[in-house]
Amino acid sequence: MERPDVDELVPPDRTLMGPGPSEVHPRVLRAAGTPLVGHLDPAFVEIMDEVQDLLRYVFRTDNQWTIPVSGTGSASMEAAIGNLTEPGDTVLVPGNGYFGERMAEMVRRAGGDVVTVEAPWGEPLDPADVADAFDQHQPDLFGFVHAETSTGALQPDVPELTGIAHDHDALVIADTVTSLGGVELRVDEWNVDVAYAGPQKCLSCPPGASPLTLSDRAMDKVLTREEPVRSWYLDLSLLQEYWGEERAYHHTAPITNVYALREALRLVAEEGIEARWERHEHVASALKAGVEAMGLALNPEDDYWLPSLNAVRLPEGVDDGAVIDALLDDHGIEVAGGLGDLAGDVLRIGCMGHSARPTNVFALLAGLGDALETQGADVDPDAGLAAARRALAE
Ligand SMILES: *Cc1c(COP(=O)(O)O)cnc(C)c1O
């Protein structure tokens, strides 16, 4: 084996406006560059407590069981689903996007039986359909996606959905990966039993330690399971010995990621959670006004527009791959194409965390206008920029 000759790492300068990761705040990058302490060092134990308190603030919850799970959002997702699903449980999941499908797959692997409540991709679930599904299947668990990153649709009516589930004695798991720290989310007030998220979407943090919160009732179900959780790594009954009172070794915490998450959450607390939701809405409104004035349309209806992920319909005949490549190659801007039923029809433009800034919106609109004109689309980029400017002045 020859000795590889690899240059020092110099990543290209990117403006991250895709479905995640978003741009990392400089203070978070700095926190990630600080020296390690041991994962059982009293100083780290204090940091763990601080991170848990900050997570409770951001989730709007008093849940004791609020921790960062080692791994990306899919790890906190699998921790939620894998711990709550016992073999033979019936679990109701949404059929209106890519992440509902992932939920279903995780339920099956945990030994649960999947039943689905349908809605078209790009639309939220209708509470009446959820109620029907409950009457028909009597599920033990109900999972829904608060912010569907694959379609740009926000799930409204969350308290109504949790009410239906609780009337049927079921627990509710919410995917809040693209809503935590970006759009209004109130875990306790909305009676959500379990919520999981990821740090690299609206929290402007590198992926690697992912928020999870469980109510006492949900944790009771986990702690009284007959069969152990199928994943040793994500077994919350073991993890509670590290994140709870005992502070016993389970696995080495991703210390650097916990540092980064702590700083990212500190930034949320500094800004104020409600002010942060408003900033996302304000900046994304400018992006929305800009693409609409340019001559494009958002895919979801305004009632369930998701500020943190804007699914923009492409004009007939425009190749999404060419637009995505032109934005990256000519402007250094990352966006993504559609998935599933929306593949080829939309661009997915994120407006998350530190990326939710006016400068990014102007760069995106200018680059998108260029790329679409090159593709022969009939758009008016100048009108888009002017509309964004007006929206930001409001
Ligand atoms: C990104 C995302 C996930 C998965 O997170 P990873 O960090 O990619 O593992 C799950 N659900 C939603 C809604 C997401 O946007």
Domains of the chain: 26-270 (3.40.640.10), 273-393 (3.90.1150.10)
Strand 194-196 relative to strand 171-175, pairing? parallel
Output the CA 198–ligand 1 centroid distance in Å. Answer: 7
Distances (CA, A) of 72 to 87, 276, 306, 313: 25, 23, 22, 29
pLDDT of residue 20: 96
Atom of ligand 1 nearest to the CA of 75: 9
Q: Is 178 in the pocket of ligand 1 (CB under 6 A)?
A: yes
**Residue 291: CA atoms inside 13 Å, Cβ hemisphere, count?**
24
Q: How far is CA 18 from its chain centroid?
A: 12
Atom of ligand 1 nearest to the CA of 97: 13
The total of other beta-carbon atoms located within 10 Å of residue 274's CB is: 10
Residue type, position 237, single letter: S
Q: How far apart are CA 190 and CA 304, in angstroms?
A: 18
Output the CA 128–ligand 1 centroid distance in Å. Answer: 27
**CA neighbor of 378 nearest in space, from 369, 366, 387:** 369
Are the C-beta atoms of residues 148 and 125 closer than 8 Å to each other? no
Tell me the β-bridge partners of 172. Answer: 142
pLDDT by residue for the chain (394 residues), tens digit each? 999 999 999 999 999 999 999 999 999 999 999 999 999 999 999 999 999 999 999 999 999 999 999 999 999 999 999 999 999 999 999 999 999 999 999 999 999 999 999 999 999 999 999 999 999 999 999 999 999 999 999 999 999 999 999 999 999 999 999 999 999 999 999 999 999 999 999 999 999 999 999 999 999 999 999 999 999 999 999 999 999 989 999 999 999 999 999 999 999 999 999 999 999 999 999 999 999 999 999 999 999 999 999 999 999 999 999 999 999 999 999 999 999 989 999 999 999 999 999 999 999 999 999 999 999 999 999 999 999 999 999 8
Q: How far apart are CA 249 and CA 223, in angstroms?
A: 19
Q: Which two tokens stand for residue 177?
A: 């990966």
Q: Is 99 in the pocket of ligand 1 (CB under 6 A)?
A: yes
pLDDT of residue 214: 98
Atom of ligand 1 nearest to the CA of 20: 1
Output the CA 177–ligand 1 centroid distance in Å. Answer: 6
Are the C-beta atoms of residues 256 and 28 closer than 8 Å to each other? no
Mutate to test the pocket of ligand 1, among 149, 203, 261 (most ligand atoms within 8 A of CB): 149
The protein residue with its alpha carbon nearest to ligand 1, atom 3, reads 73
Are the C-beta atoms of residues 164 and 183 closer than 8 Å to each other? no
Atom of ligand 1 nearest to the CA of 198: 7
Q: Which two tokens stand for residue 117?
A: 């409540």
Output the CA 101–ligand 1 centroid distance in Å. Answer: 12
The protein residue with its alpha carbon nearest to ligand 1, atom 5, reads 73
HEC sequence for the chain: CCCCCCCCCCCCCCEECCCCCCCCCHHHHHHHCCCCCCCCCHHHHHHHHHHHHHHHHHHCCCCCEEEEEEECHHHHHHHHHHHHCCCCCEEEEECCCHHHHHHHHHHHHCCCEEEEECCCCCCCCCHHHHHHHHHHHCCCEEEEECEECCCCEECCCHHHHHHHHHHCCCEEEEECCCCCCCCCCCCCCCCCCEEECCCCCCCCCCCEEEEEEECHHHHHHHHCCCCCCCCCCCCHHHHHHHHCCCCCCCCCCCHHHHHHHHHHHHHHHHHCHHHHHHHHHHHHHHHHHHHHHHCCEECCCHHHECCCEEEEECCCCCCHHHHHHHHHHHHCEECEECCHHHCCCEEEEECCHHHCCHHHHHHHHHHHHHHHHHCCCCCCHHHHHHHHHHHHHC
pLDDT of residue 245: 87
Q: How far apart are CA 139 and CA 150, in angstroms?
A: 25
Q: Which two tokens stand for residue 70?
A: 């080692």
